[in-house]
Amino acid sequence: MLEIAYAEVETPMGMIGVMADPYVVRRIYFVQSSADLKRSLVHDCPGWQNLHQNDLTNQSVAQLNEFFSAQRSVFTLPLSTESFSWFARRVYSALANVPYGQVITYGALARLAGSPGAARAVGTIMAKNPFPVVVPCHRVVRGNGQLGNYSGGFGAVTKQHLIELESRHASRFAGDSAGYSA
């Protein structure tokens, strides 16, 4: 039986839960409470053993805290991506090239991923992002400049706050590698 650990971190955007096995982060959740996180864990990983934290959840919490205090622009967490389709892998790889503090449209991200005209498919992948904040889907906006939807936290309000947080501190990280590193 795989030991699944979890941890919670209170952020300016609300509570975030992290689920990890000993090797990879399996999921990041925006949650309302500890009970919500545990329900999500039971749903996503039936039979999980109640190991509260491990080194990877502790590392995830530390990196999230650093991000929200503008001390980190790139995450270096091993992520569970084995269930991603080839197209999702290409989209997330292209997203990793969008620098902290900048945004890109769904259409432009589709072009970067090598699939011009696949903006809606990119939107679907962003909506299913299992690693919000760490994989910065909040940086992807509509072609008309409107925010669009966001599946984490309080939806578009959370997306706007994340974009503003990065915009305020982008100059601090100029020259850093873009996106995230898995």
What are the pLDDT tens digits along the chain (182 aa)?
A: 678 888 999 998 888 999 999 999 999 998 887 787 778 877 877 766 666 789 999 999 999 999 999 999 999 999 999 999 999 999 999 999 999 999 999 999 999 999 999 999 999 999 999 999 999 999 999 999 899 888 777 888 999 999 999 999 888 777 665 555 44
Active-site residue, selected from the candidate residues 137, 140, 163, 178: 137
pTM: 0.89
Is 137 labeled as catalytic in the residue annotation? yes
Between CA 25 and CA 119 the distance in angstroms is 27
Burial class (CB in 10 A: 0-12, 13-18, 19+), 50: exposed
Helix (H) / strand (E) element for 16: namely strand 14-20
Are 154 and 141 a contacting pair, CB within 8 Å? no
Between CA 178 and CA 34 the distance in angstroms is 32
Q: How far is CA 164 from CA 30, 65, 167, 170, 176, in A?
A: 18, 17, 5, 10, 18
